[in-house]
Amino acid sequence: MKKIVALLLVFVMVLALCACGEAKPAETPVEETKPEEAAPVDDGQTVVEETPAEEPAAQAVMSFAEFSAAEVDAPVVVEAYVQAHQSWWDNKISVYAQDADGGYFFYDMACSEEDAAKLVPGTKIRVTGFKAEWSGEVEITDASFEFVDAEPWIAEPLDIAALLGTDELAAHMNQFICLKDAKIADKGDGAAFFFNWDNSGEDGNCDLYFDVEVNGGTYTFVVRRYLTAPGSEVYEAVKNLQVGDTVDIEGFLYWYEGPQPHISAITVK
């Protein structure tokens, strides 16, 4: 009897030990706030998530030309191949995507963490949402998506050297782009880059901004921390830039009151 009691006690304690295993909260955010453009002023409260608006009625998949011609706020459906995405957060994800004709940015698209893991570059998805424009960036918001069975496709980077400073550049918004032999310009006070747009940030808690000189013009590029986080090869490489360095850059042609690419790779020559 005593042996049974002792065994029971041990068994109970083992069970209790198992129960105490700590699981990470599945919904703990990877990011902290709405990842949008550099915010010059924020005197109010934090930006919070919104409930998705009414689902657009079922409609045919649009070509890139049809999407481009659609009015802002129109319901849209497109198919495109994932090229990269920002970090998943709160069942939402922002995706850079492309097809043979043009680029897309799906902002805060509804997405489970499980599906986010499947959004690897090359994956084809069908996205249903509304066309929007925010500070010049044309995107799809309040969107949902489904996977499309297709061969993976990765876009070749478009060299934008000849397009910088021209009106034609906007037609390539959100596409995978590259720039070769660009010279790092003085961002201000002799710095090759800024933490945040005006150097008000600190290492690790903000995006990095740097300027390059191409064909006599100066253009701003951004290391978006939700795309290439602090500690990543890109983030650290930009922190080591020097004014006058010659670099090759790859990234996505994001727009904020003008071209402001989010870079995905940089090589110092």
- Name the site residues for other proteins (rule: CB under 8 A): 2, 5-6, 8-10, 12-13, 15-25, 27-33, 38-51, 53-54, 56, 73-75, 87, 89-92, 130, 132-135, 142, 196-202, 205-206, 229, 257-258
Question: DSSP string covering 187-204, please?
Answer: -BTTBS-EESTTS-S-TT
Nearer to other proteins, 42 or 149 (CB): 42
Nearer to other proteins, 57 or 100 (CB): 57
Shortest reach from residue 116's CB to other proteins, in Å: 13
Shortest reach from residue 152's CB to other proteins, in Å: 26
Helix, strand, or coil here: 255?
strand
220 backbone φψ class: left, alpha, beta (φ>0; ψ -120 to 50): beta
Shortest reach from residue 201's CB to other proteins, in Å: 7
Spatial distance between the Cα atoms of 195 and 186, rounded to a whole number of angstroms: 14
Shortest reach from residue 169's CB to other proteins, in Å: 13
Spatial distance between the Cα atoms of 160 and 261, rounded to a whole number of angstroms: 11
The burial class, CB within 10 Å (0-12 / 13-18 / 19+), for 43 is: exposed
Nearer to other proteins, 152 or 204 (CB): 204
Shortest reach from residue 134's CB to other proteins, in Å: 5
CA diameter of the chain: 91
Shortest reach from residue 90's CB to other proteins, in Å: 3
Nearer to other proteins, 132 or 173 (CB): 132
Nearer to other proteins, 159 or 203 (CB): 203
Nearer to other proteins, 159 or 233 (CB): 233
Residue 18 has a CB neighbour count (10 Å cut-off) of: 8
